[in-house]
């Protein structure tokens, strides 16, 4: 065999070897990137809810639970047939068993000194709703929409039924107030599907002899604050502006919320300016009506967004 041919074959073997190594290492790199993305979200979540773990290794253990809950939320939200969405809340580091063990304790309780639980409603008109703790993760992370998942018929969680209504396309639903704070669900409320063949109603909502707070439609309508969607994974409160704080090519990986509508996002990725003072001076941290104007105001600080669901790759902005 001639020397040039040997050299060609040798180079070909090197190229094939490098290609195979690249292919075999890609999943690992993707997994590492995905884990890093989730870790960033976890760290932001810890700050938002002021979570602290005093036991060695507890933070890492809770991160594994957090990741599994994120996976569950993302899988649910990617199912286009679902009539409601799930989202991250202050229960995101709890297993479903821990969550229901915590919530079903009578009179309110604390879980390992970290999780405050409001007392159950004591109003005489309270209505009990049944949730199966083995299949209740949808309820744990309910964010918005009409809840249609199956529930048990054993009454073990008390909520207040405040009314009922019908969507534009004719779907009837109950309006229910929970006791887990405004961070859960639609500002503390959940809409539950009325259309079910069960005589007890969806989640057993009509199974008890209780007097409802409302006997007529629309007599009590909770106010649902409309959030501003930054992308499919992050949102800001109503009457604010989404500002990208970190980009990678055409993608925005992290967002900030400017506390004014239609605001101008400054290039320093941390401040913003109102429309009336649209020129950012990032060096001075001020906003002015026009360049080189002597009249200026202090620039506004951005706040972290609400994480709607975990992202595998952020959307272009």
Burial letters 85-109, b for 16+ CB under 10 A, else e: ebbbbbbbbbebeebbebbeeeeee
Q: 173 pLDDT band (50/70/90 cuts)?
A: confident
In whole angstroms, what is the distance from residue 302 CA to residue 138 CA? 31
The alpha carbon of 14 is separated from its chain's Cα centroid by a whole number of angstroms, namely: 47
Range name among 14-28, 159-173, 220-234, 268-282 with the lowest pLDDT average: 14-28
Asked if pLDDT for residue 230 goes beyond 50, the answer is: yes
Asked if pLDDT for residue 66 goes beyond 90, the answer is: yes
Sole residue written with tokens 């992290």: 254
More confident site: 198 or 245:
245
Domains in the chain: ranges and CATH? 77-204 (2.40.50.170), 228-307 (no CATH)
Helix (H) / strand (E) element for 138: namely helix 137-140
Residue 203 DSSP code: G
How confident is the model at residue 131, as a pLDDT? 53
Both structure tokens of 302: 């951005």
Range name among 114-118, 150-154, 245-249 with the lowest pLDDT average: 114-118
* 42 Rama sector, left if φ>0, alpha if ψ -120 to 50, beta otherwise: alpha
How confident is the model at residue 257, as a pLDDT? 93
Q: What are phi and psi of 36, to 5 degrees?
A: -65, -40
In whole angstroms, what is the distance from residue 35 CA to residue 134 CA? 27
How confident is the model at residue 70, as a pLDDT? 92
Cβ-contact 231, 305 below 8 angstroms: no
**Secondary structure E strands in 95-135:** 110-111, 115-116, 127-129
In whole angstroms, what is the distance from residue 209 CA to residue 310 CA? 41
* 6-15, 87-96, 111-120, 177-186: which is most confident: 87-96
In whole angstroms, what is the distance from residue 45 CA to residue 40 CA? 9
The alpha carbon of 142 is separated from its chain's Cα centroid by a whole number of angstroms, namely: 9
The bridge status of strand 189-193 relative to strand 142-147 is parallel
Sole residue written with tokens 């999780």: 115
Range name among 98-102, 125-129, 226-230, 296-300 with the lowest pLDDT average: 125-129
Work out the percent of the chain whose per-residue pLDDT is above 90. Answer: 19
């Amino acid at each position: 065999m001639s020397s040039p041919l040997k050299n060609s074959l040798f180079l070909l073997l090197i190229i094939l070897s490098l290609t195979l190594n690249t292919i075999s290492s890609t999943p690992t790199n993707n997994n590492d990137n995905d884990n890093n993305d989730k870790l960033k979200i976890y760290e932001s979540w810890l700050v938002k809810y002021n979570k602290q773990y005093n036991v060695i290794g507890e933070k890492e253990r809770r991160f594994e639970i957090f990741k599994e809950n994120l996976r569950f939320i993302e899988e649910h939200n990617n199912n286009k047939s679902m009539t409601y969405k799930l989202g991250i809340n202050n229960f995101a580091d709890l297993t479903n068993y821990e969550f229901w063990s915590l919530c079903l304790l009578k009179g309110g309780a604390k879980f390992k000194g970290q999780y405050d639980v409001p007392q159950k409603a004591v109003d005489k008109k309270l209505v009990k709703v049944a949730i199966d703790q083995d299949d209740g993760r949808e309820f744990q992370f309910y964010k918005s929409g009409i809840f249609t998942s199956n529930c048990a018929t054993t009454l073990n969680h008390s909520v207040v039924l405040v009314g009922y209504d019908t969507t534009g396309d004719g779907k009837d639903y109950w309006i229910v107030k929970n006791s887990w704070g405004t961070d859960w669900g639609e500002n503390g409320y959940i809409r539950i599907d009325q259309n079910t063949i069960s005589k007890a109603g969806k989640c057993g909502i009509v199974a008890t002899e209780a007097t409802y707070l409302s006997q007529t439609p629309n007599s009590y309508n909770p106010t649902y604050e409309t959030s501003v969607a930054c992308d499919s994974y992050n949102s800001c409160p109503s009457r604010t502006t989404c500002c990208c704080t970190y980009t990678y090519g055409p993608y925005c990986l992290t967002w900030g919320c400017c506390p004014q509508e239609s605001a101008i996002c400054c290039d320093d990725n941390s401040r913003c300016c109102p429309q009336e003072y649209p020129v950012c001076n990032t060096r001075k941290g001020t906003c002015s009506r026009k360049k080189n104007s002597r009249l200026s105001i202090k620039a506004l600080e951005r706040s972290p967004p609400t994480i709607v669901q975990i992202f595998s790759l952020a959307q272009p902005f």
